[in-house]
Amino acid sequence: MERVLVLLSTYNGERYLREQLASLFSQELPEGTELRILVRDDGSSDGTTAILREYEKEGRLSFYRGERNLGPAGSFLSLMKRAEHYDWGEERAEARTYYALCDQDDVWLPDKVSRALSLLFETGREEAALYYGLPRLVDAELCPLPLRRDARERMLDFASALIKSNSTGCTMLFTRALLLKINRSEPDTEKITMHDEWIHKGCLAIGGRLIFDEDTPILYRQHGNNAVGCQSSGGAVLKRYLHSLLHPDRIHSEMAGELLRAFSRDMSPLKRELSEEAAFYRRSPGASLRLFFDRRIRTAYRKRNFLFRLAVLLRIF
């Protein structure tokens, strides 16, 4: 038997929420699989909570309001902590529990969960494993967009993920073993980019299993109000780096430091070495040069590699 707990974070999402929930209720699950939905609202001021209360009264989901607004990263990490102690009722020793992250404005195609489960089927009960992939990009009206994310973005190696982890949270489904590892990490959300990037990098750091799907059955809605959209084009990447020049937050090196703090004991010597190099490169000119010339840390994109080395040179990585 398999159980899937969908973790949904909401914030002023009344416009698309019913459509998303309908797609969750319409999942075509393997026989014996149970799916439930746990929702955390991050301080909505529109009709979002009224919609959630309506569905909760019908017994279709569990919902709670956060004590304060945490932003998407903090909200999802808080949800994961809550999910660890979720009460499924009758305990079944043979049941395997998985967790799926869910945005408030997408649409899951009927086979989204079953496809992920089938690819995770051979994962051991105690194994930290993550399924994720490329979503199908659509506009606000669910019309397909010509923009297609490159499959090279799978980035299954830790070194390239130190530069950029192109993992999309709404595609993720992972094992309880990984949930527990992430929950114990307790990152400073001011020092990480997003929750999905932290989960992806964390899984890589500890040597977990990653399963990448080049066509995840989800309609990933791009519109003006979503908290984080798909901005992986060359122009978007350049724009972010130009912004870094004017507002250097050094988030990537800060995140490498967080990875070291949280997962150092589980890292291989090589991963620990690369993390230290990225985290502490500003300590001396020699340390900066070591990172600048280290060809082990690179992605599949020339432009991104150039911008990474430029950021190191300018000490804003």
Q: Which residues contact 49 (CB under 8 A, 6 or more apart)?
A: 41, 63, 65
Write down the pLDDT at residue 91.
72
Is residue 243 predicted with pLDDT exceeding 80?
Answer: no
Q: Is 94 helix (H, G, I), strand (E, B) or coil?
A: coil
Find out whether 253 and 315 touch, Cβ atoms under 8 Å: no
For residue 144, the one-letter residue type is P
For the record, the structure tokens of 14 come out as 């009344």
Architecture of domain 2-221: Alpha-Beta Complex (3.90)
Q: Helix (H, G, I), strand (E, B), or coil: what is residue 51?
A: helix
pLDDT in tens, 100-145: 999 999 999 999 999 999 999 888 778 999 999 999 999 999 999 9
Domain ranges of the chain: 2-221, 234-313
**Statement: residue 230 has pLDDT above 60:** no
Burial of 222 (0-12, 13-18, 19+ CB in 10 A): middle
Residue 125 amino acid letter: R
Q: 8 pairs with which residues across the strands?
A: 39, 102
Provide the pLDDT confidence category of residue 165 given band limits of 50, 70 and 90: confident
pLDDT in tens, 190-205: 999 999 999 999 999 9
- For residues 103 and 107, what is the distance between their CA atoms, to the nearest angstrom? 9
Q: What is the pLDDT of residue 149?
A: 64
Q: Per-residue confidence at 314, pLDDT binned at 50, 70, 90?
A: very high
Q: What is the mean pLDDT of residues 147-176?
A: 85
pLDDT (tens digit, 9 = 90+) per residue, 24-43? 999 999 999 999 999 999 99
What's the CA gap between 143 and 7, in Å, rounded? 26
**Long-range contacts of residues 141-149, Cβ cutoff 8 Å, at least 24 apart:** 142/107, 142/219, 142/221, 145/222, 147/230, 147/233, 149/230, 149/232
Predicted TM-score (pTM) of the model is 0.93
